[in-house]
Amino acid sequence: MSAKTNKNTAKSAKADKTTTKSAKADKSTAKNAKVTKTTAKSTKADKTTTKSAKADKSTAKSAKVTKTTAKSAKADKSTTKSAKADKSTAKNAKITKTTAKTTAKTTTKSAKVDKSNLPKAMDLFQAYQEGKMPDDGGYIVTSYFNENSTYSIYEVIAYDNVKSIHSGETSLTFQADGHKIYVLVEPMNYAHKYLEPFTRSKEESIPQRFNELDIVVAKNQTKVMVSKNPVISYSSFTVLKPTGVNFAIIFYHLDDVLKSLEFFFTQTLNKEAGVPQSDTKKSARTVIEGLKRFKLWQ
């Protein structure tokens, strides 16, 4: 019985040992399960962290995009502002241009009204070279003096509606409407006084007959012959560059231009053409009467 008891005790001890081993195994399994659980938790945490990191990265990317978008929006805003500024500048430029045009137009209009600062007359070819030809026309007086006597020819041309002026070596050609009268001064001792003016030599002729001329006879028998009616040119006319003592003068179309021309002829008829001073006023008035028949500015 004692042996049996011992055997049972041994079995019990072995069972306890097995139980202990099983407990140890269970403990180890529990430990492993715990570790596994912890690992799982850790893995989950890592996964969450990865997700979070990805989310953060995505957020950062989104933030970067947002920042870029903001920059782009700012740039767009700046561009819009710039476009508005450009538009405003263009508008201002347009206004400035319009103002400049208006001012120029007003100034030109004012200049045409107030001509007190213009010279009454100047050398024609000098005026052309200096760009001082009048825009609204004027009167051109040219002379052809005989070297051996006081025989003289004047041409007075009024012109308007100028299209162009062409300069040649010895002349100016006007593409314009022109009215012309001739003034012929014939001294008492002229040898061919019986010849009609249009039949005389080239240097002494004008294209008119006696009956087409108003004639003033001075005290010294000098004759001043003035065209009754103007010779009209509707397309162009040419003025030759003067030589020697001859001249070509442009008189500006001012309010008192006829008075200036009358005074001019009282001087030149006496000094250059030998007409007595007592007869120059009547002769000059005859010239002005001829100019008054011009219809350019009527």
How much is the average pLDDT of 97-124? 53
Residue with tokens 């100019």: 291
Residue-wise over 226-246: b if at least 16 C-beta within 10 A, else e? bbeebbebeebbebeebeeee
Q: Is 190 left (phi over 0), alpha (psi -120 to 50) or beta?
A: beta
Token pair in block for residue 77: 């805003």
pLDDT for the residue numbered 119: 80
pLDDT of 88 above 50:
no
pLDDT for the residue numbered 234: 83
| pLDDT 10s digits, 163-207 | 899 999 999 999 988 999 999 999 999 999 999 999 999 999 999
| Domain boundaries, given as residue ranges, for the chain | 1-114, 121-291
Residues written for the chain: 298
How much is the average pLDDT of 43-47? 40
pLDDT for the residue numbered 161: 85
Least confident range from 74-88, 145-159, 215-229: namely: 74-88
- Answer whether 146's CB lies under 8 Å from 265's CB: no
> Which helix or strand (DSSP H or E) is residue 155 part of?
strand 152-167
- The answer to pTM > 0.85 is no
- Answer whether 156's CB lies under 8 Å from 138's CB: no
Most trustworthy range by pLDDT among 60-69, 226-235, 269-278: 269-278
How much is the average pLDDT of 55-83? 43
pLDDT for the residue numbered 117: 63
How much is the average pLDDT of 40-52? 40
pLDDT of 246 above 90:
yes
pLDDT for the residue numbered 279: 96
How much is the average pLDDT of 68-92? 45
pLDDT for the residue numbered 295: 79
